[in-house]
Chains A and B, each alone.
Chain A
Amino acid sequence: MKKFNISFTPIIFFSATLLLLSSTNVFAQDKDDSDGEMFIEAKPRNKNGIFKGDDEISYKLNIKSTYKDKQEGKFKYVITTDEGKPVFRDSSNFSIGAGSSKSLNVKVNAKNAGFYHIDFMFNLSAYDDTVRKVFGLNPESVTSQLHKPADFDSFWLQTRQQLADVKPQYKVLERRDLSTKYKKVYLVEMKSYDNLLIRGWLVIPTDGRKFPVHYRVPGYVVELKPNMDNDDYIAFDINVRGNGNSKDVVHINTDNYNVTNIEDKNKYIYRGVYMDCLRGLDFLYSHSNLGIDTSKIYVEGGSQGGALAVVTAALDKRIKVLTMQVPLFADIRDNYNISASYKEQVVPFKMFRRYKASRAEFTWDKFFENFDYYDPQNFAPMVKCPVLMGIGLLDQFCPPRCSMSLYNHLGTTNKEWVSVPNSTHEVDLNYFMFQNLWIREKFRIP
């Protein structure tokens, strides 16, 4: 075994050590493959990429070369903050024989709670690539400041009152063409905030009389369709204004949806969108005759849906359980800071920055002045029900730090979160398997 003592410039709280393990394996090589390939796997010591307390933070890199020739060059790694600020970097010479494998251990000493990007770079004779990972350190200690406007509560109270003044005029239309032997599908229509018509899909299992409800709220301009996947719940999927089959009046493309009336908090698109979610809940509560168990309604959403789910659970205590994945817009001010370091902008600041660039008079102060009414983080303390959240550590849309800031502000201690280390703006099947069990546990469902 070969050890390298690597000297480094200590940068406040970071240090790292690199250990090269001996090459032991020789892999079969395709003789006709003149180029070859390099397979690099970077595994965090803790499978979920989350380290707590005194956990040793380390990665094991398994490198396998199928090149015909020995590969030589540099191995570098850089650790940066969410904002892209380097906190540690190191490098060493690296070589790997033809058709063989090697392991590297990289140990990191970090103290401050947060999320860190670690890029492993191999610059070799015929191979040049970077493996990017993110790890979290004590994420439940991540703090953030709430920027809740003084009249936040009264603003939403007034908004809810305006919603209440709109007669829902519910219509429940059975769609036999979409129904099956085991599921009845209904198209549901209702009037929502500003007297706008919105629609949703209600799917009721035929095998039973009373069911808990899976209330799903949509991602960013994503059309929700009848959810036929679950036999044990009534599924209600609402298409908020401008989504799916609720585009009669609001029909805006993804590039402009979240900047619609962004300069006026009273007219901002999400004022109506948030109320659409509450109107959907009104519908469920007023239709227990359809077999809806109103004592067991959980709201779920991913991305924008995660934000909508938080807001719905915050504003309406009839929601008993909340599950969300990668909640968009969380801690919007911090998202602004983090996204500033991106080489290419992504949702949501891709739209916000484009809008800002097109209007000289529009300032970020003005943006935040409005968006503070809509930042789901400001709703988080009002959530009192059990919560499950899933995050992807490589997510740029909803940086893990922003999601954890929101999570840490939730007004309940009955909450859990799951980290999916190799996911970007999504979680994995394993998360949903756990979510399924978690909800059954909360509702005591067999």
Chain B
Amino acid sequence: MLLPQKLYAGWPIGKYRDLVIPSMFLYHQTDRFDIDGRRIKGDPGASFTSYSANLYVGYGLSRRLDLIASVPFVYSQNRLFDGRTITNRGLGDLYMGLSYNLVNFNYVRFLSFQVSGIAPLYNRKNPLSDLGYGNYGAETKLMYCGNLPKSIASKGYFNTELSFRRYFDEQGPSQVSLSAMVGYPVSRHDQFGLELLYLRSISSNKTFNANINNARDYSFFKPTLNYGHQFSRRFSTFLGGYYTPIGRNTGVGYGGSLQLIFKI
């Protein structure tokens, strides 16, 4: 059986089992969307690039309850129009929580709820540190996933998520996201996936910030195309690419990801 790309989303991990997912992400932008969603050409020479390595670990505490944690290491370069470059590197925000499977529908589809806390792992008092908001936060997430209905496709799976995240600062932000993902196997070991993500970040601070790691008020719609290959029952990889065709007060971002999924 192919591993779903977002196995660490709504699917219960399984009692006493581990999921370890090292991953790498690339984000780049030169152009941006203004506050009204109009596309604005970037200043010559200006760009923002973020490379991050992430380690996600999940452990099945019981058949329904999973403990999950994620630690990113971020390296970002913000090239300004005047030729200056602001570089940041270091650990980002720790993300840790519990996921509970509320209902399983005949072990074919799963409805789960996740509560997580967010804690900055960098020096919060350093004003030059742009690795995140520098604030604690919390997130709740409702997830529904499983096999695609047979009436739609004889194989394949889906995952949908609705989440709300709040950073504990007077400027927030508060973030709502909605994502839907479909994975479809094209062979015994290969699959393609398409994920559609809409994210709305709301804050009283409307200032445009090219650094996606600590921009506050913005929104975007981002489709991601993934290719997954299963090397063994315990190891799969996913390679993804994305683009941001629609946004508001954010960069016209694009990039990619590489995920290694180990089921132990």
Contacts and interface: CB of A to CB of B under 8 A. Distances in A.
Interface string A17-44: 0000000000000000000000000000
Contacts, number: 33
Given A182-B188, A208-B232, A232-B1, A446 B108 contact: no
Contact of B233 (A182, A232, A434, A441): A232
A444 B233 CA distance: 12
A113 to B, nearest CB: 26
Contact of B106 (A207, A232, A429, A444): A429
Contacts of B89: none
Interface string B103-115: 0001110000000
A437 B233 contact: no
Interface string B181-213: 000000010000000000000000000000000
B150 to A, nearest CB: 14
B106 A446 contact: no
Contacts of A433: 106-108
Given A182-B188, A446-B233, A446-B234, A440 B14 contact: yes
Contact of A441 (B1, B63, B232, B234): B63
Nearest to B3: A446
Contacts of B233: 208, 232, 445-446
Contact of A430 (B15, B17, B107, B234): B107
Interface residues of A, number: 16
Contacts of B63: 437, 441
Contacts of A446: 3, 17, 233-234, 263
A441 B13 CA distance: 10
Contacts of B107: 430, 433-434, 436-437
Contacts of A430: 106-107
A441 B15 contact: yes
B81 interface: no
Nearest to B17: A444
A184 to B, nearest CB: 16
A140 interface: no
Interface string A423-446: 000000110011011001100111
A441 B16 CA distance: 7
A242 to B, nearest CB: 36
A69 interface: no
Interface in A184-219: 207-208
Contacts of B14: 437, 440-441
B16 A231 contact: no
- Of the listed residues B233, B234, B263, the one surrounded by the most CB atoms of chain A closer than 10 A to its CB is B233
Nearest to A430: B106
Nearest to A428: B106
Interface string A272-285: 00000000000000
A177 to B, nearest CB: 22
Interface string B212-233: 0000000000000000000011
A444 B15 CA distance: 9
Interface in B223-264: 232-234, 263-264
A231 B1 contact: yes
Nearest to B189: A207
Contacts of A434: 107
Contacts of A182: 188
Interface in B43-68: 63
Contacts of B3: 446
Interface centre among A208, A232, A429, A446, by most B CB within 10 Å?
A: A446
A446 B60 CA distance: 12
B220 to A, nearest CB: 34
A207 B187 CA distance: 13
A207 B17 contact: no
A207 B188 contact: yes
Nearest to A207: B188
Contacts of A440: 14
A207 B14 CA distance: 23
Contacts of A437: 14, 63, 107
Contacts of B15: 441
A429 to B, nearest CB: 7
Given A441-B63, A444-B264, A446-B17, 9 more contacts: A207-B188, A208-B232, A232-B233, A433-B106, A434-B107, A437-B63, A444-B16, A446-B3, A446-B234
19 contacts: A182-B188, A231-B1, A232-B233, A429-B106, A430-B106, A430-B107, A433-B107, A436-B107, A437-B14, A441-B14, A441-B15, A441-B16, A441-B63, A445-B233, A446-B3, A446-B17, A446-B233, A446-B234, A446-B263
5 closest Cβ pairs, A-B complex: A446-B263, A433-B107, A441-B15, A446-B233, A430-B106
Interface of B: 1, 3, 14-17, 63, 106-108, 188, 232-234, 263-264
